[in-house]
């Protein structure tokens, strides 16, 4: 009986001791979890403050807040992403890469961590690693067009345009409503000299964002270079009239050239005069006015404009070609020859075949008259 009681008492003591031990372990785990939650919460607050400073360009304050976050020791991935950005800003690329790697390891599905890692690898000229990082970022966050664009821009910089086009089409398949991606596709097609197809991408971008001036400018440019002057002209006119004093010269030039190509010479002339009023030494404007004069059968005025243009740019291909044409028409073929040769010597000589025909015409000798 006594043995039974001792055994029962011993068992009770053992259970009590074990229970006490388990209780301490459980309580310790709860305390540790609470400490981790508190550290993470503090890290989130400090990182948020640091991000705000970083966006405003207050890098010193951003580092101060981030130091507070790092002191918590919390396994908070966005904190390490910002640390990587700040280190990269200081040119500390090895440290930046370590921070980005830490963020990626803590949270492998954090797209921003991959993107920042990609920017660091790109700066370190490790193109393949950068491309892999950008690709992963774009897959994890397809709604962030900046990630897909970084991938495409890197491929373009590496002259891998076909692959860039394929990746861009894949990105558009994931986010077909992205203005930036449609506009980027238009840009890439223009780079590939495929202006006609670029027009289609810019049209979609403009429908999605009708108030975006930069999209309208890109559409007008693609229309112009694809030869669709009729549609390009009103867009260019709107751009030129929006802020007349601030209109870029290239807009005025394209507008005038569109009008001229459409045979609207009287409307084109004041556009070129507007360019010349801004810059009296504009060779292109004077050459364009000479074209207007020739189309209106005013060769003397055209020659005056070309004389002024050639004073500024003696090797100008188009100015020399037009001067040669005028001199041939005036029966002064010998004077036309050097102008036509200068035009052909220029790499940017446009209609080379026409200039060659003019030169052949100017160098043909008149048959000698036989005296009876």
Per-residue confidence (pLDDT) for residue 104, from 0 to 100: 92
Which parts of the chain fold into alpha helices (H)? 2-55, 59-71, 77-89, 93-106, 111-123, 127-140, 145-157, 161-174, 179-191, 195-208, 213-225, 229-242, 249-261, 265-278, 283-295, 299-312, 317-329, 333-345, 352-363
For residue 45, what are its two tokens?
Answer: 């607050």
For residue 102, what are its two tokens?
Answer: 């830490």
Q: Answer with the residue of higher pLDDT: 284 or 79.
A: 284
pTM recorded for the entire structure = 0.76
Residue 152 falls within a domain, yes or no?
no
Q: Where residue 209 sits, what CATH number does that domain have? A: 1.25.40.10
Q: Answer with the residue of higher pLDDT: 364 or 263.
A: 263
Residue 27 falls within a domain, yes or no?
no
Q: Tell which of 170, 195, 225 closes a domain.
A: 225
Mean pLDDT of the chain: 86
Please say if the pLDDT value at position 3 is more than 80. no
Residue 333 falls within a domain, yes or no?
yes
Mark whether 134 and 175 lie in a shared domain: no
Residue 198 falls within a domain, yes or no?
yes
Q: Tell which of 84, 114, 141 closes a domain.
A: 141
Q: Residue 29, class by beta-carbon neighbours within 10 Å (0-12 exposed, 13-18 middle, 19+ buried)?
A: exposed
CA dihedral 13, 15, 17, 22 (to 10 degrees): -170
Question: How many domains, in total, are found in the chain?
Answer: 3
Mark whether 165 and 135 lie in a shared domain: no
Q: How confident is the model at residue 77 (pLDDT cuts 50, 70, 90)?
A: confident
Mark whether 82 and 122 lie in a shared domain: yes
Residue 239 falls within a domain, yes or no?
no
Q: What proportion of the chain, given as a percentage, has pLDDT over 90?
A: 67
pLDDT in tens, 329-338: 999 999 999 9
For residue 264, what are its two tokens?
Answer: 């609207």
Mark whether 85 and 134 lie in a shared domain: yes
Q: Tell which of 183, 203, 225 closes a domain.
A: 225
Mark whether 134 and 168 lie in a shared domain: no
Residue 9 falls within a domain, yes or no?
no
Residue 261 falls within a domain, yes or no?
no
CB 198 within 8 A of CB 190: yes
Residue 175 falls within a domain, yes or no?
yes
Angle between helices 283-295 and 249-261 (to 10 degrees): 20
Q: Rounded CA gap, 231 and 219, in Å?
A: 10
Mark whether 77 and 137 lie in a shared domain: yes
CA angle in degrees (0–180, nearest 5) for 266-272-282: 155
Domain interval for residue 195:
159-225
Per-residue confidence (pLDDT) for residue 34, from 0 to 100: 45
Mark whether 70 and 131 lie in a shared domain: yes
């Amino acid at each position: 009986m006594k043995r039974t009681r001792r055994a029962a008492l011993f068992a009770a003591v053992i259970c009590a001791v074990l229970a006490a031990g388990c209780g301490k372990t459980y309580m310790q785990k709860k305390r540790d979890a609470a400490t981790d939650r508190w550290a993470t919460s503090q890290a989130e607050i400090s990182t948020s403050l640091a991000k705000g400073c970083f966006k405003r360009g207050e890098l010193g304050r951003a580092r101060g807040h981030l130091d507070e976050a790092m002191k918590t020791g919390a396994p908070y991935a966005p904190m390490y992403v910002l640390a990587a950005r700040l280190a990269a800003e200081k040119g500390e690329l090895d440290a930046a890469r370590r921070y980005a790697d830490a963020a990626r390891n803590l949270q492998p599905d954090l797209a921003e961590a991959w993107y920042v890692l990609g920017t660091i690898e790109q700066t370190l000229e490790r193109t393949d690693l950068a491309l892999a990082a950008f690709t992963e970022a774009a897959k994890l966050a397809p709604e962030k067009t900046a990630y897909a664009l970084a991938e495409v821009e890197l491929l373009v910089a590496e002259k891998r345009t076909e692959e860039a086009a394929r990746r861009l089409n894949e990105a558009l398949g994931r986010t077909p409503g992205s203005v930036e991606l449609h506009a980027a596709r238009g840009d890439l097609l223009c780079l590939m000299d495929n202006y006609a197809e670029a027009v289609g991408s810019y049209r979609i971008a403009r429908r999605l964002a009708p108030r975006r001036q930069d999209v309208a400018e890109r559409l007008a440019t693609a229309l112009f270079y694809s030869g669709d002057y009729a549609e390009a002209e009103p867009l260019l006119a709107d751009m030129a009239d929006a802020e007349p004093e601030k209109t870029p010269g290239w807009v005025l030039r394209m507008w005038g050239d569109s009008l001229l190509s459409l045979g609207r010479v009287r409307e084109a002339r004041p556009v070129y005069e507007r360019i010349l009023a801004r810059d009296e030494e504009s060779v292109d404007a004077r050459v364009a006015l000479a074209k207007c004069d020739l189309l209106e059968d005013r060769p003397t005025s055209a020659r005056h404009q070309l004389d002024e243009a050639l004073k500024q740019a003696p090797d100008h291909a188009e100015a020399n070609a037009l001067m040669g044409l005028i001199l041939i028409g005036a029966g002064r073929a010998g004077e036309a020859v050097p102008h036509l040769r200068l035009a052909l010597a220029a790499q940017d000589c446009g209609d080379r075949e026409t200039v060659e025909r003019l030169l052949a015409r100017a160098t043909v000798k008149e048959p000698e008259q036989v005296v009876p």
